[in-house]
Amino acid sequence: MNKFSRWLPITLGLLALIVLPQFVHNAYYLHLVETILIYSILLFGLDIVVGYTGLVSLGHSALFGVGSYTVGVLFFKLGLPFYITLPASIVVTAGFGALLALPALRVTGPYLAMVTLAFGTILQILINEMTFLTEGPLGIKIGKPVLFDMPMSKVAFFYFVVACVVLSLWVMQRIIKSHYGRAFEALRDSPIACDCMGVSVYRYKVIAFILSAAFAGLSGGLYAYSEQYIAPNAYNFELTILFLLAIIMGGRKSRSGAFLGALIVVMLPSLLADIELFRWIAYSILVIVLLTAIISLVNKQKTWKQLLIPIAAAIGVAVFAKTLDNITDWRLTIFGVMTLFVVYYLQEGIVGYATKLLPRRKHNEQFEQLDVELIKGGKNASGPLLKADQILMQFGGLKALNRVDLLVQQGHIHGLIGPNGSGKSTMMNVITGIYQPTEGAVHFYRQGQALQMNGLTPSAIALNGIARTFQNVQLFGEMTTLENILVGLHHTFKSNLLDVVLLSPRYRREERYARARAAAILTLVGLQTQIAEEARNLPYGKQRLLEIGRALGLDAPLLLLDEPAAGLTAPDIKELVMIIRKIRDCGITLLLIEHHMDVVMSICDRVTVLDFGQKIAEGTGNEVRTDPKVISAYLGGDVESTATSH
Ligand code: ADP
Ligand code: MG
């Protein structure tokens, strides 16, 4: 049933496209649909960047232009056929995507927007100026693609575009469902946790940009053949804004959203050229807004106050449309107003909004019961596992850690305690590479060899065998619990993009195995019934357990837990302690920051006490509990009541 309802719209849509040329003989309308399809390919790609990795690109109209001009130049200068020019436009544009991504993705937010914008502007100018290659403002005429010595007919090319869309849809869907897609979403929801799961944020941002550019290249190439004429001014800034508007309005992370967005992008300019049509739409919007307002008032979902602005705006637009007599001057203003409307009232896009109105669709997480090794721990080895020497961590004048030594023995649960602000979390951040210590070194022992950790990136440290959780929970909120753990298991995938797209046996085996293991880990942390729940919907205590489960996916011999019991209820804490013991019994060593002294006393083999960035005591739980320095600094003083509840 579920499969059926998923395939039905795709099959129907495809059928409609196949029969369309039989019914629509008007070349103009066929071309319009063709353009929508071509734009949707670009929007699939742009969605990877905007929807999945959560970055902004203002350079996509330029990438689209690179695709078009690759076809244009190869055709015009060398007379190459479409089965060479189109793959070339994909490859060349992907190359430009890489060129943009490598420097641009070192920066984020507004800087990234500026860099991509500059890139787009430069490319447009280059296309304009490099007359020897691009014919400059004159543009290039492109002949119809030739197949078997015959130029393709309009209908044949339309079918060719449909085939390209189906292919892109397949590639996109496969990538998004794979460990690549999970990495993209993970880096959007929490870059820091993503790195600490061994998934390099930078690397996957670059991959996302390159993939996105490849889609833009195919789209641009097809566009060149479809228009049969290209000129630099088509690939301007307005187009970039339209693309972004299309993604946001259609709905991010959705292929139907991309189609809808493409429809809007293509129809909007012609819609804004016809004043009668515009009036009609303005009046319909008013009716829809009023109806929705009445429904939500009756259902008591919204108050009068919340509805005032949308109703006033809809009335305003309707009045504006009535009084308007020339629409072309207002085009940009109307774009702007639409963007504002979408940003404020339709953040999930039209598709996102519509799916919210429908009964909530359950995520469908499938896995098989396989014979999996749940946790790959060490083999009861002894000796040191982690050694931090003379760690000095300075923030300006503050010495958050002042020459602290720490030695964690294999198989131990090592407690790290101290008052708030004493440097405990800083220690974890130094060990996991989030902070570079001002002085000192961290060594990690694997198979008797000491590996220096400081200087490595967080993802490299994670892959070397140090997993962690965070004091302020860092989950991948929009992903399901199972997917969160699958990100932890990312390192078990050896498959590349080709494996993913072709569904190779290797990839299918890895995915099956990882899913089975993820389900087993979820059971270990007691979340088996919430397997398809989005992480952000879990209660706080469960979120902490999920974070531990995700860290277990890394198969790391050392697990660092930063205040796992903070904010938990008493029964939750009991469950947590049980789980920590289970993990230790699997041969995993733990470094545990905790304020609940009863927890620390009952499970820690050794305890280190920090105060103002200094190590003031170390020993067994009982030794430190009776240490006068510890009592005056931490246990006796004004600390949280839980700390003394033992
Ligand atoms: P704890 O985890 O023991 O409560 P932290 O390690 O979080 O303490 O913090 C130790 C000290 O270092 C605090 O005074 C804190 O303000 C400071 N600190 C931590 N991280 C930073 C940072 N990134 N920049 C400046 N100061 C920091
Ligand atoms: Mg802390």
Q: Is the CB of 261 under 6 A from ligand 1?
A: no
> Cα(489)–Cα(375) distance, rounded to whole angstroms?
11
Q: Is the CB of 420 under 6 A from ligand 1?
A: yes
Rounded to the nearest whole angstrom, what is the distance from the C-alpha of residue 445 to the centroid of ligand 1?
Answer: 27
Query: Mind listing the pLDDT tens digit for each residue in 258-300?
Result: 898 999 888 877 777 778 888 888 898 899 888 888 888 888 7
Rounded to the nearest whole angstrom, what is the distance from the C-alpha of residue 611 to the centroid of ligand 1?
Answer: 12
Selected residue with higher pLDDT from 534 and 11: 534
Q: Is the pLDDT score of 642 beyond 80?
A: no
Rounded to the nearest whole angstrom, what is the distance from the C-alpha of residue 472 to the centroid of ligand 2?
Answer: 9
Q: Which amino acid is at 426?
A: T
User: Cα 151 vs. chain centroid, distance in angstroms?
Assistant: 42
The whole-number pLDDT of residue 334 equals 75
The whole-number pLDDT of residue 5 equals 66
Q: Is the pLDDT score of 395 beyond 70?
A: yes
The whole-number pLDDT of residue 106 equals 79
Ligand nearest to the CA of 472: 2
Report residue 638's pLDDT band, with 50, 70 and 90 as the boundaries. Answer: very low
The whole-number pLDDT of residue 637 equals 52
Mutate to test the pocket of ligand 1, among 192, 391, 398 (most ligand atoms within 8 A of CB): 398
Mean pLDDT of 65-79: 93
Q: Is the CB of 458 under 6 A from ligand 1?
A: no
Which phi and psi (to 5°) does residue 481 adopt?
Answer: -60, -40
Q: Is the CB of 440 under 6 A from ligand 1?
A: no
Q: Is the CB of 229 under 6 A from ligand 1?
A: no
The whole-number pLDDT of residue 639 equals 43
> Cα(61)–Cα(240) distance, rounded to whole angstroms?
5
What residue's CA is closest to ligand 1, atom 13?
A: 421
The whole-number pLDDT of residue 380 equals 59
Sheet order of strands, 558-562 included = 466-468, 558-562, 589-593, 413-417, 606-611, 614-619
CA-to-CA dists, residue 20 to 25, 30, 467, angstroms: 9, 8, 55
How do beta strands 449-452 and 439-446 pair?
A: antiparallel
User: By C-alpha distance, which of 79, 304, 321, 52 is closest to 187?
Assistant: 52
Cβ(105)–Cβ(188) under 8 Å? no
Report residue 177's pLDDT band, with 50, 70 and 90 as the boundaries. Answer: very high
**First-to-last CA distance in the chain?**
55
The whole-number pLDDT of residue 644 equals 39
Q: Is the CB of 395 under 6 A from ligand 1?
A: yes
Q: Is the pLDDT score of 413 beyond 90?
A: yes
Rounded to the nearest whole angstrom, what is the distance from the C-alpha of residue 471 to the centroid of ligand 2?
Answer: 6
The whole-number pLDDT of residue 113 equals 86
Ligand nearest to the CA of 417: 1
Rounded to the nearest whole angstrom, what is the distance from the C-alpha of residue 285 to the centroid of ligand 2?
Answer: 51
Q: Is the CB of 421 under 6 A from ligand 1?
A: yes
Cβ(256)–Cβ(104) under 8 Å? no
Cβ(209)–Cβ(216) under 8 Å? no
The atom of ligand 1 lying closest to the CA of 610 is 3
3-state helix, strand, coil in the chain (%, to 5): 60, 10, 25
Look at 234-243, 263-272, 446-455, 493-502 and tell me which has the smallest mean pLDDT: 263-272
- Look at the alpha carbons of 4, 9, 10, 12 in this order and tell me if their dihedral is positive or negative: positive
Cβ(330)–Cβ(282) under 8 Å? no
The whole-number pLDDT of residue 378 equals 58
Which phi and psi (to 5°) does residue 148 adopt?
Answer: 50, 50
Mutate to test the pocket of ligand 1, among 399, 417, 426 (most ligand atoms within 8 A of CB): 426
Rounded to the nearest whole angstrom, what is the distance from the C-alpha of residue 465 to the centroid of ligand 1?
Answer: 25
Rounded to the nearest whole angstrom, what is the distance from the C-alpha of residue 426 to the centroid of ligand 1?
Answer: 6
The whole-number pLDDT of residue 376 equals 67
The whole-number pLDDT of residue 645 equals 39
The whole-number pLDDT of residue 307 equals 81
> Cα(62)–Cα(73) distance, rounded to whole angstroms?
16
Q: Is the CB of 423 under 6 A from ligand 1?
A: yes
Q: What's the mean pLDDT when you consider all of the chain?
A: 88
The whole-number pLDDT of residue 646 equals 39
Mean pLDDT of 108-131: 88
DSSP sequence for 571-595: HHHHHHHHHHHHHHHTT-EEEEE-S
The atom of ligand 1 lying closest to the CA of 428 is 6
Query: Mind listing the pLDDT tens digit for each residue in 195-249?
Result: 999 999 999 999 999 999 999 999 999 999 999 999 988 888 888 988 988 898 8
- Kind and range of the H or E run holding 394: strand 384-395
What residue's CA is closest to ligand 1, atom 24?
A: 395
Q: Is the CB of 424 under 6 A from ligand 1?
A: yes
Query: Mind listing the pLDDT tens digit for each residue in 481-491?
Result: 999 999 999 99
Ligand nearest to the CA of 420: 1
What residue's CA is closest to ligand 1, atom 8?
A: 421
Ion ligand 2 contact residues with beta carbon within 5 A: 425, 471
Q: Is the CB of 422 under 6 A from ligand 1?
A: yes
Classify residue 131 as left (phi > 0), alpha (psi -120 to 50) or beta: alpha
Question: Token digits for 297?
Answer: 């008032």
The whole-number pLDDT of residue 462 equals 96
State the DSSP code for 641: G
What residue's CA is closest to ligand 1, atom 15?
A: 421
Rounded to the nearest whole angstrom, what is the distance from the C-alpha of residue 398 to the centroid of ligand 1?
Answer: 9
Rounded to the nearest whole angstrom, what is the distance from the C-alpha of residue 400 to the centroid of ligand 1?
Answer: 6
The atom of ligand 1 lying closest to the CA of 393 is 12
Ligand nearest to the CA of 418: 1
Cβ(459)–Cβ(196) under 8 Å? yes
Report residue 640's pLDDT band, with 50, 70 and 90 as the boundaries. Answer: very low
**Taking every pair of C-alpha atoms in the chain, what is the biggest distance, in angstroms?**
93
Rounded to the nearest whole angstrom, what is the distance from the C-alpha of residue 563 to the centroid of ligand 1?
Answer: 15
What residue's CA is closest to ligand 1, atom 22?
A: 395
- Kind and range of the H or E run holding 100: helix 82-104
Global pTM reads 0.88
Report residue 641's pLDDT band, with 50, 70 and 90 as the boundaries. Answer: very low
What residue's CA is closest to ligand 1, atom 2?
A: 425
Mean pLDDT of 45-74: 93
Mean pLDDT of 556-565: 94
Rounded to the nearest whole angstrom, what is the distance from the C-alpha of residue 423 to the centroid of ligand 1?
Answer: 6
Query: Mind listing the pLDDT tens digit for each residue in 296-317?
Result: 888 877 777 878 888 888 888 8
The whole-number pLDDT of residue 28 equals 85
